[in-house]
Chains A and B, each alone.
Chain A
């Protein structure tokens, strides 16, 4: 980064740290808590969360959202995107916002096709 100033507030200013070192530890603790919650949910698998929502189980939606939260904090604080100028920030984030949904779309389409071939194809997969 150009200068040595760090933005020390996370959670939109709700939590402020005195030094950059403290912020790093704080983010690390936060990420550990999120991971622990994920692992506990994965072991317990509460029945309420097993109902499908937009074709994916609620539990898996929670996992995906928590993963995106973790990815945000790793990129923003550990890879210090938070401290960069907004031009550089957008140059990094915008291509990802366009390319990742595109990749998801392609993979889902392709995977669905392969599934259908196995399911109703001329050659049955279940023999």
Chain B
């Protein structure tokens, strides 16, 4: 089955086995190994990516279902040698230990901050409930996302864009 898909800004065309999961396509066909597999049953959230700006579990989506879509993975965050402010925040606050849940957590965090540029700690804690972490107990992840919110609002261009976005709970 044919697939035309844009991933991190690059468009690809492939002929694929329909049962190939989106996460396997990203990892094995495109070599974007940043998105991880933890359970393949939709519980752990490690495989979270953005499809047309919306967080989904890429283990439960067939690659061919992303026909015509724009997919963003963790590899899209950094610009060359510069980390995204969200990544800088996680680094500064030690929001990771083993790093395995981190890509899914980062993509979900991007969405959280997109919808709610100034969340409270409680809001963040609830908003990441679909992403399991076995290492951190979540606390430094929450601190990282709150720190990222500050960084992103302080950025003159980012901040202005975010002010204009709809603010609300997830």
- The finding on whether chains A and B are genuine partners in a shared complex, rather than unrelated, reads no
Interface residues of B (CB under 8 A from A): none
